């Protein structure tokens, strides 16, 4: 009996500690209200973004399919629209899918900052799904319409606009700033970002921090948060396409073996879905939850601030929905399947592709090994789908860093309605090419994304509100002034 009471007492004590931890942490200030009048001075800037959107700089894996003239046209348009940038800044030659500008700072002792974006876009897809021409660049109903507005000419144009305005005012930044734009991010960034990073490395540049595309000021993604959240990516998942294959004996399908190659591959794919990678609370996720806790109801705070005890519960809850599941585990998505091309012919080989996003803390080799071991249970095997092409997960960047602090302060000024939280970016960016030459790598797209904007990135009817774009310009102007 005594043991029972001791147990109850311990549990109560534990609960009390948990409640204390939940209650005592940082409290959120009341959300601010943005004064749209502060955007008046940027009025008209949207016309320039629209002009850039009208140039279809679609990148393709096969360069022969690309319209190179469009990329040249875009460069000419940049010179015409942002003359101060093209006349006053030093343009460094990093190849034909890169635009790199150096803006020397006053203090050569300070490490530079790299402001990144890409100016290529993905193809518009099915034209009939678009309410306007995909490259109309129409400005209507308070929006700028067209492919690239959200991904990511808004950052490309926004950074150029801010730099152009500051240069016109005679502003000189404290530290050197690089405007680093790639023209092939959507197809891997080898001709753009990789070439730029290579050139900077050659010139001995080590940057303090960089800003690249990433999380938005997300309005409604986490329904339990009391305000929009500015999601600043401080880590990035790795990437590998894995081919699952099995060999069989071709022949007539009337007397089949117990398992055909198609059956073996199908079983391996099924195993990849039922035996998911183990879930884990990474350092980034722990940071994310801690930073999130001021903005969520008490019950969530109780969970998020006591991960040592509540970890398993949080992992289970996160595993339940695709967007949060991606934060707690390496994910595998079966995307391609092929086997025999005739109904009554046994396949002599079958193949599937898993698109795999690797959680930081793991690596490509361990991920391949686990998938191969699962596949072998089904009589199949796992290999790299593209000759060893893979990206290791990127290291977590510090939150206690001048770059993060600058970004956070600018969010507070330009998106005062939002709370800022560091998080793990689950998609890939050009940032991967800069790992060797940068301390702090932050992925944040300065724009509000509400439910009405969802689906625009890589989808139809991509658009950005004029107010949103002007806020992007303001964000960059403040960011550069305080860099």
Q: Report the interface residues with Zn ion, using CB under 5 A.
A: 151-152, 213
Count Cβ atoms below 10 Å from residue 390 Cβ, excluding itself.
19
Backbone angles phi, psi at 401, to 5 degrees: -155, 145
Which residues in 8-63 belong to E strands, given as ranges?
none
Smaller CB distance to Zn ion: residue 119 or 318? 119
Sign for the pseudo-dihedral over CA of 428, 325, 220, 292: negative
Query: Which one, 102 or 453, has the nearer CB to Zn ion?
Result: 453
String of b and e for 38-61 (b: at least 16 CB within 10 Å)?
Answer: ebeebeebbebbbbbbbbbbbbee
**Count of C-beta atoms within a 10 Å radius of residue 415:** 24
Q: Which residues, including other chains, have CB under 8 Å from residue 367's CB and lie 6 or more apart?
A: 238, 240, 277, 330, 356, 358
**Choosing from 102, 185, 402, 478, which is the catalytic residue?**
185
DSSP code of residue 58: B
What are the DSSP calls for 331-372, one per residue?
EEEEEEEE--SSTTEE-SEEEEEEEEEEPBTB-HHHHHHHHH
Q: Which is nearer to Zn ion, 213 or 396 (CB)?
A: 213
Strands 113-118 and 207-218: parallel
> What is the rounded distance in angstroms from the CA atom of residue 13 to the CA atom of residue 196?
57
CA dist., res. 102 & res. 212, Å (int): 17
Of the candidates 356, 400, 341, the residue with the CA atom closest to the CA atom of residue 237: 356
What does the buried/exposed string (b/e) look like for 439-469 if buried means 16 or more CB atoms within 10 Å of the residue's CB?
ebbbbbbbbbbeeebeebbebbbbbbbbbbb
Name residue, tokens 């302060």: 409
- Any catalytic annotation for residue 430? no
Largest Cα–Cα distance in the chain? 84
What are the tokens at 92? Answer: 């460094």
Out of 66, 120, 184, 213, the active site residue is 120
Find the Cα–Cα–Cα–Cα dihedral 5, 8, 12, 15, rounded to 10°: 160
Q: Which is nearer to Zn ion, 124 or 248 (CB)?
A: 124
* Cα–Cα dist 292/284, whole Å: 12
Nearest to 349 by CA among 357, 358, 337, 333: 337
Residue 120 known to be catalytic:
yes
In the complex, what is the shortest distance from the CB of residue 78 to Zn ion, in angstroms, rounded to a whole number? 18
Cα distance between residue 310 and residue 56, in whole Å: 49
Find the shortest distance in angstroms from Cβ 427 to Zn ion. Answer: 8
Catalytic residue ranges: 120, 185
């Amino acid at each position: 009996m005594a043991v029972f009471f001791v147990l109850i007492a311990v549990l109560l004590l534990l609960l009390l500690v948990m409640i204390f931890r939940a209650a005592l942490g940082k409290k959120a200030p009341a959300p601010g209200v943005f004064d749209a009048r502060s955007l008046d001075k940027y009025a008209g800037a949207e016309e320039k973004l629209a002009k850039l959107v009208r140039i279809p700089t679609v990148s393709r894996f096969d360069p022969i399919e690309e319209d190179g003239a469009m990329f040249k046209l875009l460069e000419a348009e940049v010179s015409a629209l942002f003359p101060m940038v093209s006349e006053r800044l030093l343009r460094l030659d990093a190849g034909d899918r890169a635009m790199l500008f150096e803006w020397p700072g006053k203090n050569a002792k300070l490490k530079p900052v790299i402001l990144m974006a890409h100016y290529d876009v993905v193809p518009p897809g099915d034209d009939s799904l678009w309410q306007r021409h995909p490259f109309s660049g129409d400005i209507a109903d308070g929006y700028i319409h067209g492919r690239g507005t959200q991904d990511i000419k808004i950052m490309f144009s926004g950074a150029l606009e801010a730099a152009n305005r500051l240069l016109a005012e005679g502003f000189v930044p404290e530290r050197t700033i690089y405007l680093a734009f790639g023209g092939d991010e959507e197809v891997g960034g080898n001709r753009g970002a990789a070439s730029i990073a290579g050139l900077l490395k050659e010139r001995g540049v080590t940057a303090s921090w960089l800003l690249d595309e990433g999380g938005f000021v997300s309005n409604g993604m986490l329904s339990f948060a009391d305000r929009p959240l500015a999601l600043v990516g401080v880590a990035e998942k790795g990437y590998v396409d894995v081919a699952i294959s099995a060999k069989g004996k071709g022949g007539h399908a009337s007397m089949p073996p117990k398992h055909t190659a198609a059956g073996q591959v199908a079983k391996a794919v099924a195993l990849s879905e039922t035996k998911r990678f183990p879930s884990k609370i990474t350092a980034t996720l722990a940071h994310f939850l801690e930073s999130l806790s001021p903005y969520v109801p008490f019950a969530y705070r109780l969970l998020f601030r006591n991960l040592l005890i509540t970890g398993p519960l949080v992992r289970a809850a996160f595993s339940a929905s695709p967007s949060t599941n991606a934060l707690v585990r390496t994910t595998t998505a079966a995307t391609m399947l092929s086997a025999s091309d005739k109904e009554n012919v046994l396949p002599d080989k079958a193949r599937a592709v898993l698109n795999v996003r690797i959680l930081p803390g793991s690596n490509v080799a361990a991920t391949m090994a686990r998938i191969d071991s699962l596949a072998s249970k089904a009589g199949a095997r796992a290999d790299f789908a593209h000759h060893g092409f893979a990206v290791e997960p990127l290291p977590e960047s510090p939150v206690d860093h001048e770059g993060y602090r600058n970004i956070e302060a600018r969010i507070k000024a330009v998106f005062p309605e939002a709370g800022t939280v560091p998080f793990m970016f689950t998609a890939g960016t050009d940032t991967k090419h800069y790992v060797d030459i940068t301390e702090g790598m932050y992925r944040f797209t300065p724009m509000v994304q509400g439910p009405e904007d969802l689906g625009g990135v890589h989808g139809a009817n991509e658009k950005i509100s004029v107010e949103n774009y002007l806020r992007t310009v303001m964000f960059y102007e403040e960011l550069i002034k305080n860099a």
